[in-house]
Amino acid sequence: MSSKSSLLSAPVLVLNANYEPLNVCTTKRALVLIFSDKASLIKNGRGYIKTVSSAYPAPSIIRLDEMIKRPRPAVKLSKSEVFRRDDFTCQYCGKRAAKLTIDHVIPRHLGGAHSWENLVAACPACNHKKGGKTPTQAQMNLINNPYRPNSSAEYRFGRYLRMHQDWLPFVKGW
């Protein structure tokens, strides 16, 4: 993959007209939005994309020119989001395992729901040890009680913030 094509696929933070973080798109998509007068460049943190006759700033953050109305985003329940919420750590033994499983705190056959409040990350050994029992029956304590994660911008865009520190002032507080 050439450096130009990797630059075109690099993530760009998209802000609403009121500077609320909306989503992440590719540099290529961001340039299309800028050239079609639908967005403005806020921050160039990557240098320039050069063509035969011109050089264009490679955006890191863009802002839409018109306000987009949308419902408040919610974090969707998925295996990867449960792992992320639990910081990729077994909630019974506290070890960070390469391969984690999902455990129902109250097993489904005992009436436990498939919900944020009943799912935790568990290493295969702890999940096997607990089996179809409750934590009390298995004499295993949870390190953290499961919860529905807050859908703040910091949580939603957190996976990008380590590599894109320039996004932090636009993400914090939303």
Delimit the domains of the chain by residue range: 3-71, 79-138
86-103: average pLDDT: 93
CATH for 79-138, options being 1.25.40.340, 3.40.190.10, 1.20.210.10, 1.10.30.50: 1.10.30.50
**pTM score of the predicted model:** 0.70
Mean residue pLDDT across the chain: 89
Q: Name the β-bridge partners of 10.
A: none
Q: How confident is the model at residue 4 (pLDDT cuts 50, 70, 90)?
A: low
Q: Which H or E element spans position 130?
A: helix 124-130
pLDDT: is 62 or 45 the higher one?
62
Paired tokens of 76: 């969707």
Q: Which residues contact 86 (CB under 8 A, 6 or more apart)?
A: 120, 121, 144
Q: Which residue is it, tokens 């450096």? A: 3
Instruction: Please tell me what DSSP assigns to residue 165.
Output: G
